[in-house]
Copies of this chain bind each other. A is one copy, B any other.
């Protein structure tokens, strides 16, 4: 490993000067600068981030906590985060927290031990003692965190319900995600408000999580418990797709006999036939905006909105009955 010392020696200057040159801080003579640049090239020198962050008590790393990387919504989110962070010169420590509180704590600890400059989290667990590390919550807004970027879940719930209402539903089933997640509750509220207004009845089916196994399970339960269901609002696209598949398997015609709407708009929702209607959340943008917000916090820039709510969007697709 070549160090700043080697560069200094080769360039015939002191390490301080090299440091100044690298960081463009303080004065550096023109010829010194040239000699240093040459030496750096020659030695293929890259300053140690570790040493730098030891002194600065702040690294160029930020932590990213995800609930479930195998749900395609989150890779998109992660990509948004990654792109913005890379632009700003940061790199990510990834923490995939399978809804496991212990793992979350473990990661948070690791983040601190590595002097991360900030944390982005799409996990709603007990964010406990994060002292003063800049922290931005993504997607799932917990109790009362200061900074967050999330979709307008209430509005999403309304949109989904209104859309379903237009397909002359006789028996609606509403899948509800984990109650511990605030977004689930908001969506439910939104949908229910519509049903109340339109005097529609509905049934609830609680799901354990947003994950695959839960989706499969829910799709079986659905038809068992509600054999006459003709309209489903799924808690996310993974669930929506599972239900779509199960319906087709049973020979139920979609959307004639069963209409389905999902949530998220993951890429696969367009890759099935009939394509899954859904409420789109801008996952990539959410990540990107969250990262932007984090950058502002880290750089002590003025912040106009501490909580950014992104609009959701109805994607009319083939699992929807036409308006009468």
Contact = CB atoms under 8 A, between A and B. Distances in A.
Contacts of A42: none
Given A59-B50, A112-B46, A272-B272, A91 B70 contact: no
A61 to B, nearest CB: 7
Contacts of A82: 94, 96
Given A93-B91, A94-B82, A49 B271 contact: no
Query: Assembly of this chain: how many copies?
Result: 2
Nearest to A244: B273
Nearest to A69: B75
Contacts of A44: 129
Contacts of A49: 110, 113-115
A50 B114 contact: yes
A267 interface: yes
Given A70-B267, A241-B271, A245-B271, A107 B78 contact: no
B48 A51 contact: no
Interface string A226-249: 000000000000100110110011
Interface string A280-303: 000000000000000000000000
A49 B49 CA distance: 13
A72 interface: yes
Contacts of A95: 91
A115 to B, nearest CB: 5
Nearest to A48: B113
A131 to B, nearest CB: 8
26 contacts: A46-B112, A47-B113, A48-B54, A48-B113, A49-B110, A49-B115, A50-B53, A50-B59, A50-B113, A61-B93, A64-B94, A69-B75, A69-B79, A70-B76, A70-B267, A75-B75, A78-B96, A82-B96, A91-B95, A94-B94, A212-B267, A241-B268, A241-B272, A242-B271, A245-B273, A245-B275
